[in-house]
């Protein structure tokens, strides 16, 4: 039996925990006038406010909302406490984000009293240790545990005792990874529930949706080989900033890009990784999002090399803007130090890596802004942008 544990409106719940006077209020977590909603309490969701919604739209829908800035370090602190509690129930714990995790409960003492009692025990332990509620789904299959945890939010508990009976109730919208385009194509055939895909046939489903069609075929028949993975491969490291005011000036954009390169390269070094592919992200004034990619000669965790590639992409992008967001990602990751190159190249890269490690030590001791490259100082006098970092995992 697998359990999926999902904290309820996690960021907003932590804010209410720290400020009890906000209990019952429409709390919306997000930074800056131009940013997006990071989390919304359930009273705020009643007004149609959702994560990733532009803050101006959230203010339009919920003018009485209480808007608070993102406090990522506080959320990470609470996340660590939650995961410590969950780890006490099973050593087979897979954290998939800051506020959700899978547990393999097979053979654990907590399951002896039955799945429902196990779920209740998990919820009680999390609430006692953190003061926060979570929703728990238990099922023999990973994707069904995920769906089950969403069924009774907030503070819910759903147990899938009969897989076939539960499958008959699952809509395509509930299926992890089944996006709007796939649902639209299937909906055109009159298909809205997962179990209905059985009638379509495996080959036709593959022709319609490719490899994902085969995945859906298995899910429709209650087959999912995925279990709980103790370690998940990091696929990319990224950081982005939403500006307080739209920016068209390329020099200012390059300065922001250099600051992003510093953040991304530090995190790569923290994970002991280097990347080969640099991706530039730009969001236009009209919210149109574009990405451009470039491959490095060899994997790198060096700020200047990552920045140089990203800057070339910025220079090559012809539309003038203005832009409301800029982002930088590095993918194609592998353990640092594994790249090939000539003797001179390796010596130069070793110097750059040593400089980066020294920089990391200074920033760890005195804060992330203790050292800044001169090229990034041009934006210090501007309105503070809203930042968002991310680690993409398999």
CA distance 309 to 278: 7
Q: Are 269 and 357 in contact (CB under 8 A)?
A: yes
Q: How many residues does the chain have?
A: 394
- Find, among 71, 32, 75, 72, the residue nearest to 55 by Cα: 32
Question: By three-state DSSP, how is residue 394 classified?
Answer: coil
Catalytic residue among 15, 94, 100, 240: 100
- The C-alpha atoms of residue 15 and residue 29 are separated, in whole angstroms, by 8
Q: Cα–Cα distance between 290 and 317 in angstroms, integer?
A: 10
Q: Which helix (H) or strand (E) holds 103?
A: strand 100-104
Main-chain phi, psi angles of 189, to 5 degrees = -95, 5
User: Has 206 been annotated as catalytic?
Assistant: no
Beta strands in 133-233 (DSSP E): 134-139, 157-159
| CB distance 295 to 332 below 8 Å | yes
Q: Which residues of 315-326 are buried (b: 16+ CB within 10 A; e: fewer)?
A: eebeeebebbbb
Q: Are 311 and 250 in contact (CB under 8 A)?
A: no
Say whether 113 sits in a helix, a strand or coil.
Answer: helix
Distance CA 95, CA 168 (A): 29
On whether the CB atoms of residues 269 and 362 are closer than 8 A, the answer is: no
Start-to-end C-alpha separation, the chain: 23
287 phi, psi to nearest 5 deg: 75, 5
The set of catalytic residues is 100
């Amino acid at each position: 039996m697998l359990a999926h544990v999902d904290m309820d409106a996690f960021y907003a719940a932590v804010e209410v925990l720290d400020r009890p006077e906000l209990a019952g209020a429409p709390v919306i977590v997000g930074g800056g006038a131009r940013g997006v909603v990071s989390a919304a309490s359930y009273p705020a969701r009643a007004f149609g406010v959702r994560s990733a919604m532009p803050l101006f739209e959230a203010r339009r829908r919920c003018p009485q909302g209480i808007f608070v800035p993102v406090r990522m370090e506080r959320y990470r602190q609470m996340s660590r406490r939650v995961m410590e509690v969950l780890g006490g129930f099973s050593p087979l714990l897979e954290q998939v984000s800051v506020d959700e995790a899978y547990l393999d409960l097979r053979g654990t003492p907590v399951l002896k009293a039955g799945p429902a009692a196990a779920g209740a025990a998990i919820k009680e332990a999390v609430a006692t240790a953190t003061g926060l509620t979570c929703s728990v789904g238990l099922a023999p299959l990973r994707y069904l545990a995920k769906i089950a945890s969403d069924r009774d939010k907030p503070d819910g508990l759903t147990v899938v005792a009969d897989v076939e009976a539960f499958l008959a109730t699952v809509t395509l919208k509930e299926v992890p990874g089944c996006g709007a385009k796939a649902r639209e194509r299937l909906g055109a055939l009159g298909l809205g529930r997962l179990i209905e895909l059985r009638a379509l046939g495996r080959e036709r489903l593959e022709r319609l949706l490719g490899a994902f069609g085969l995945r859906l075929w298995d899910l429709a028949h209650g087959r999912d080989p995925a279990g709980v993975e103790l370690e998940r491969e990091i696929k990319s490291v990224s950081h982005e900033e939403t500006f307080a005011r739209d920016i068209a000036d390329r020099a200012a954009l390059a300065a922001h890009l250099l600051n992003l390169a510093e953040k991304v390269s530090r995190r790569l070094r923290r994970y002991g990784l280097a990347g080969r592919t640099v991706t530039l992200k730009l969001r236009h004034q009209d919210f149109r999002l574009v990405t451009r990619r470039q491959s490095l000669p060899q994997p790198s965790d060096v700020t200047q090399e990552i920045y140089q590639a990203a800057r070339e992409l910025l220079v090559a992008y012809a539309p003038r803007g203005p832009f409301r967001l800029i982002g930088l990602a590095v993918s194609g990751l592998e353990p640092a130090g594994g790249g090939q190159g000539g003797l001179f190249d390796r010596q130069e890269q070793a110097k750059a890596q040593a400089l980066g490690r020294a920089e990391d030590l200074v920033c760890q001791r005195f804060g992330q802004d203790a050292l800044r490259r001169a090229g990034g100082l041009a934006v210090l006098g501007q309105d503070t942008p809203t930042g968002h970092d991310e680690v993409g995992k398999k």
